[in-house]
Amino acid sequence: MKISNGVKKKIIFSTIFILFFGLFFLWQGIYLSKNPFSEKEVIFNVEKGQNLFQIGENLEKEGLIKNKFFFDFYLFLKGAQKKLQAGEYLISPSEGIAEVAKKIISGDTARISVTIPEGFTVKQIEEKLNLKLPGENLEGFLFPDTYQFPLRVSGEEVVKKMRDNFEKKLTLDLREEIERQEKTIFEIITMASLIEKEVKTKEDKEMVSGILWKRLKNNIPLQVDATITYLTGKKTTKIPLEDLQIDSPYNTYKYKGLPLGPICNPGLDSIKAAIYPKNSEYWYYLSTPEGETIFSKTLEEHNIAQAKYLK
């Protein structure tokens, strides 16, 4: 039986129409989201060992995708069905299947952004993160910075990330200079922590560093107020006389030399100031309530400055 040209054209047209409709159906299923106007985001958990079909089914159940078929088909098409990574993901119904799949394939898990300010103590970091940070000698070595952490980050993960950042920031050049000065990293970080809590600007930090190292060299007590407030937890520029008598290796009024260890986690400017102090004729300094640093050459000048600025 011979097929007429008219019938052939109809068959070709129908085939093209079906193919076009099928491709459009797949395209809109994969690239158009379930709800493009949704502002809600859901924490979606992919557990270890879950396969493609289980993940697709859960996405559909939670109303995050139109149909699990499109998810399964897209992953098979990309050959990525075995590349899906476990974790918690922040997913919105406004995202298409291609976007959702990309997150789970790349392991782009939900994260929180946390800024740890310079001068924070370990205790303050724990309070900010609501976590207990395990480990010894952490004070001073958790580098202050902005971090991206998983939603349920552990104390161990926080410590590792912050310690790794510290190791990276303390470059080989800085380490070599510390060694050349015959100092230890621990001594430098301890000094940097005092500087961090005492003054704010880069210039003042370098000047205070020079004063403190000079006092150490001449066997003069450092008399750093920040070591007392570290012990008492008080936020004040005036230290009561009774606090100066606290018997602690952190009390730099009572004991000569550096305190037992760092009193906070210093930033890079303070660390560099501790390594590269600025020499001057000054032996004393104080910080006014407004944050200005007043330098003095003699004890008499210092006492006058105290009476004037720390009433």
pLDDT in tens, 133-184: 998 899 999 999 999 998 889 999 999 999 999 999 999 999 999 999 999 9
Return the SS3 of 278: coil
pLDDT in tens, 245-281: 999 999 999 999 999 999 999 999 999 999 999 999 9
Domain limits for position 84: 32-106
Helix (H) / strand (E) containing 53: helix 52-61
> End of a domain among 89, 106, 123?
106
pLDDT in tens, 48-68: 999 999 999 999 999 999 888
Range with the poorest average pLDDT among 74-83, 147-156, 191-200, 207-216: 74-83
Pair (302, 188) in one structural domain: yes
Pair (216, 189) in one structural domain: yes
CA–CA distance, 181 with 227 (Å, rounded to integer): 25
Q: Are 249 and 105 a contacting pair, CB within 8 Å?
A: no
What is the per-residue pLDDT for 18?
Answer: 55
- Residues 6 or more apart whose Cβ sits within 8 Å of residue 182: none
Pair (160, 62) in one structural domain: no
Residue 285 counted as domain residue: yes
The structural domain count of the chain equals 3
pTM, 2 dp: 0.79
